[in-house]
Amino acid sequence: MDSGHAELSAYSVRLARPNDVAALARVHVASWHHAYRGIIAPHNLAHTNFSRSVSRFRGYFWGGGQSLSALHVLEGEGGVLGYVNSGLSNSRELGVRGEVYELYLHPDAHGRGCGRKLLSAGLWALSGRRLLPAVVWVLAENHPARRFYERMRGREIAQGEVTTGDQVLAKVAYVWVDYLPWPEWTL
Ligand SMILES: CC(C)(COP(=O)(O)OP(=O)(O)OC[C@H]1O[C@@H](n2cnc3c(N)ncnc32)[C@H](O)[C@@H]1OP(=O)(O)O)[C@@H](O)C(=O)NCCC(=O)NCCS
């Protein structure tokens, strides 16, 4: 056990609530800009800003998103530090049922086992809804996230493309047939 993972009990995961909207947007924008700088061009990256992100999460809560997917947040002492959103897959042609749509941590929370904890929560939520196997799509150039998913035993099964503003970017799919053990059980 390393010292980072020893602190893991300081973080808890729960379903997101409507009053988390501002915190979710802060994490989304900070994580997005940190992860995609150098991959997504600045003029496209600029579209991801706080007010747009707030509208998006409001749309989730007030547009019935909760009946379609499970949005979990990870909290530490300072509040919400990350989130994972999972539900029915948009890539059923891959032979999967579920999908982790988004997994974002605030840059200050990287490297402490929080990503593992959130991915576990997302896969457990999918398992509970009989939505395994599950897929996650990641930008091909997002190498740190790809190393993370590979470490989490995700198996690369497909490649594709995604349009972001005026850019067409390569993406890669990783699949999980089973849920991950909850992190504390492995320590
Ligand atoms: C990708 C992300 C979720 C990983 O979360 P994290 O909390 O930093 O990762 P963890 O600390 O839980 O790491 C879990 C394991 O993966 C490994 N790992 C994590 N990032 C890694 C990297 N870049 N290279 C190699 N291994 C890595 C860790 O060493 C750890 O292994 P261990 O269990 O043997 O100690 C997080 O960095 C993030 O939010 N990044 C920005 C947003 C993003 O790219 N999201 C994915 C979009 S699809």
Three-state SS annotation for the chain:
CCHHHHHHHHCEEEECCHHHHHHHHHHHHHHHHHHHECCECHHHHCCCCHHHHHHHHHHHHHCCHHHHEEEEEEEECCEEEEEEEEEECCCHHHCCCEEEEEEEECHHHCCCCHHHHHHHHHHHHHHHCCCCCEEEEEECCCHHHHHHHHHCCCEEEEEEEEEECCEEEEEEEEEECCCCCCHHHHC
Is 37 a pocket residue for ligand 1 (Cβ < 6 Å)?
A: no
If you take atom 25 of ligand 1, which residue's CA is the nearest one?
Answer: 147
Whether CATH 3.40.630.30 fits 10-186: yes
pLDDT in tens, the chain (187 residues): 344 454 667 899 999 999 999 999 999 999 999 999 999 999 999 999 999 999 999 999 998 877 789 999 999 988 999 999 999 999 999 999 999 999 999 999 999 999 999 999 999 999 999 999 999 999 999 999 999 999 999 999 999 999 999 999 999 999 999 888 887 765 4
Ligand 1 centroid distance, CA of 80 (Å): 18
Q: Hey, where are the domains in the chain?
A: 10-186
Q: Which of 119, 148, 153, 174 to mutate to test the pocket of ligand 1 (most atoms within 8 A of CB)?
A: 148
**So what's the pLDDT on residue 9?**
77
